[in-house]
Structures are given as structure tokens and as C-alpha cells.
Chain A
Amino acid sequence: MAYPLQLGLQDATSPVMEELIQFHDHTLMIALLVSTMVFYTILTTVTSKLTNKNMLDSQGIETIWTIAPALILFLIAMPSLRLLYMMDEVNNPHLTVKTIGHQWYWSYEYTDYKNLEFDSYMIPTQDLIPGQFRLLETDHRMVVPTDSPVRMLITADDTIHSWAVPTLGVKMDAIPGRLNQTTFVVSHPGVFYGQCSEICGANHSFMPISVEAIPLIHFEDWSTSMLAKI
């Protein structure tokens, strides 16, 4: 999960996020090399004692610095497009969860088998128990089974919100009157946090998302216990 002064991405918990991290590293290395080259070029130009007032054109270097950037962009675009289409695949989801953004909480509906619905409010800082994370914990987590494709249908009740969990590589806007779909697979069990990612009012920063991934057999127990509670 996130840690203070973090610059990079969180560790991946889904195959899509693993691919996103790979693509990010790939593009970052290219960007780093291009930046190094530009820096070196500026340095040599500034420290050079040569001045040539009569240089008008140079076909060779013009050709190089036209083809080379095109090639670099091609090498970035190929994995980018591959990943873009991979992220759009649906992959026969085992479970569909509907989430609705409200001001200022999320509600989740599991309507595949029985009507399980609950709201997920942030736990206020003064109510946290030692070991819980400030501004991230919720009273009810969205629970999903591991290694199972999950379809999320996302919408909102009032203003635009955005459902995002960085470690799963998921971010999707929740827009009133519109149903957005995304799918993800959680690779290993754990609790994964996210926060609302679209400004939605005074408590925009205080409507987090927490997803708990557990093995399928325990998921069935959880849904039974939730139905009994609610």
C-alpha cells in the first residue's frame, strides 16, 4: 500500500497492474535516456568554443533527428496499445458488484444471487483502533474472491465521483445517469485501499475505498454472514 514520500507506483495485486508497471518502467527508461541525451547536448553546446555563423542546413542530422524520435515513439506506442486493449478485455467475470458513489460514501450491491447491499463509510480518525490507517479504513469493506474475474458496474447518485484502487490498477468515473464497467482479478488475498478520485464536495477526501480479497470458500461464508446481519 501507499507509504509516506512515495514517488513510484504501488506494488501490483492484479495482472493488469503488473503490466502497467512494466510499461511504466519501459517508458521511464526511454524518457530518462532522452533526457540524459538532451542534457549532454546542452552541456556540450554551452561549453563549446566553436561558433559557425554560416551553417544553414545539414541533411544528415535532420534525417537522424526525424527518424529517431519516430522510432522511439513507435517503441512506446506498441506496448501502450497492447496494454490499452488488454485493459478492455472482460474475461468472463465470476461475480458482478455494483458500486454507487454518494456524497460522501460508497455503496456496494452484490445482486448475483441474493440482494446483498451495504454502505461503506470512512471510519473517523477519532474512532480508529491502533493499527488502522487514517482516512483509509471503512466500516464495511468490499469483499471479493481471489483469482476470480470481478466485474464492477460503477455509477453515482449525485455528483461525479471516481472509484480507484491503485494497487489493482483500477480507476473508473462514477457519473450520475451512466453505468461504467471495469473488470479486475485480485491475485492474492489482502486488504487494498483507494480513495475517491474526482472532486465531489466538502468531504471528497473522506470517502475511501477498501477492498478485501479472500479465498472463494471464505467469500461464501462472508456473504452468508453479511446477509444475516443485514
Chain B
Amino acid sequence: MGNGPIRKRNHAAVQWQGKKRSARKRRGFKLLGILDVQNTPCAREALLHGAGGSAVAGLLHFLVTSRVKRSFDVGFAGFMLTTLGSWFYCRLKNAKLRVQQRMVQEGIKNKILYEGTPLDPTNKPRPSGPS
């Protein structure tokens, strides 16, 4: 047991972390110890869709052919395809949203900067005087 000073939390250091306790990331479930399913965007949805697609594909194949092993193979292929498809679709959608979010943020920042100046893009052109 050491006799060092008891380390108190430095409030300033905690503040500089930029996170409140309530907003701290949840301890996610790591699939195969690698992929943090809860905190990686689209991962949970992709895996759930994959599981569903796998079950449906495998079951349907079995109902039609009554071949167990081949149905497992079909189910696995369904899992791969559904997971990949759902993943790419979700990531593409998120990427587009992120681009829009950045454009909006830039627009808000510029609006604050240029408000009231001749460069303000919301300034409507004044009608010209009487002819």
C-alpha cells in the first residue's frame, strides 16, 4: 500500500475533457472483442438486419429444399449480404447528413459574422427609386 497523496479529481481537468458524466460513452458490447457495436454508428442496425436476413434466407431455403447444411450456407450468405447492404446504405446516409450538418454550421457561423454588414446574404436588395 503506498503512502502517496490521495488523488482528488481536478475539477478544471474534468471540465476540459469537454464531456459531462451523463454524456460519457456507454461501455459498448465489443463483437469479437473488436467492433464496439453500441458506439459505432450503423453497426447495431447492420448486425440486426444481418441476423434477420440470415434467419429469413436460411429458413426459406430449408422450407423449400429440406437440406439442412445447405440452408445454413444460404443463411450465412444472407447474413453477409444483408449486413453489408444495410451497413453501406446507413453509412452513405450518415455521410450525406454530416456534409449537410457542416454546411449548416458554416452557414450559421457566417451569418453571425456577416449580420448587419453589406456581405449579409439575407439582405434583400432594396427596390430602386421612382423612375
Q: A191 with B80: in contact, given A28-B35, A32-B31, A130-B10 (CB under 8 Å)?
A: no
Contact B18 A188 (CB under 8 A): yes
Contact B35 A191 (CB under 8 A): no
Residue numbers in A under 8 Å from B11 (CB-CB):
131
Contact A191 B16 (CB under 8 A): yes
**Among A29, A133, A190, which residue has its beta carbon within 8 angstroms of that of B87?**
A29
In the docked arrangement, what's the CA distance between A212 and B16, Å?
9
Contact A22 B95 (CB under 8 A): yes
Closest A residue to B7 using CB positions: A130
Closest B residue to A31 using CB positions: B34
- B57 interface residue per 8 A CB criterion: no
Chain B: interface residue count, which band? 35 or more
Closest B residue to A1 using CB positions: B17
Contact B10 A44 (CB under 8 A): no
Residue numbers in B under 8 Å from A30 (CB-CB):
84
In the docked arrangement, what's the CA distance between A11 and B39, Å?
11
- B125 interface residue per 8 A CB criterion: no
Contact B80 A37 (CB under 8 A): yes
- Enumerate B71-120 residues with CB–CB distance to A below 8 Å: 73, 76, 80, 83-84, 87-88, 91, 94-95, 98, 102, 109
- B126 interface residue per 8 A CB criterion: no
In the docked arrangement, what's the CA distance between A88 and B51, Å?
40
Residue numbers in B under 8 Å from A33 (CB-CB):
80, 83-84
How close is B126's CB to chain A, nearest CB, in angstroms?
A: 32
**Among A29, A44, A130, A212, which residue has its beta carbon within 8 angstroms of that of B35?**
A29
Q: How many residues of A contact B (CB 8 A)?
A: 32
- A74 interface residue per 8 A CB criterion: no
Residue numbers in A under 8 Å from B73 (CB-CB):
44
- A189 interface residue per 8 A CB criterion: yes
Q: A25 with B43: in contact, given A8-B36, A132-B13, A190-B16 (CB under 8 Å)?
A: yes
In the docked arrangement, what's the CA distance between A30 and B80, Å?
10
Q: What are 29 of the A-B contact pairs (CB < 8 Å)?
A: A7-B30, A7-B33, A13-B18, A25-B35, A28-B34, A28-B35, A29-B83, A29-B87, A32-B32, A32-B35, A33-B80, A35-B32, A36-B80, A37-B76, A37-B80, A40-B76, A75-B88, A129-B10, A130-B8, A131-B7, A131-B12, A131-B13, A132-B10, A147-B109, A188-B18, A189-B18, A190-B16, A191-B13, A212-B16
Give me the 3 closest cross-chain CB pairs, A-B, nearest first: A131-B10, A191-B16, A190-B18
Known: A30-B84, A130-B5, A130-B7. 15 other contacts (CB 8 A): A11-B25, A13-B18, A25-B40, A29-B35, A32-B35, A35-B32, A36-B80, A129-B10, A130-B8, A131-B7, A188-B18, A189-B16, A190-B18, A191-B13, A212-B16
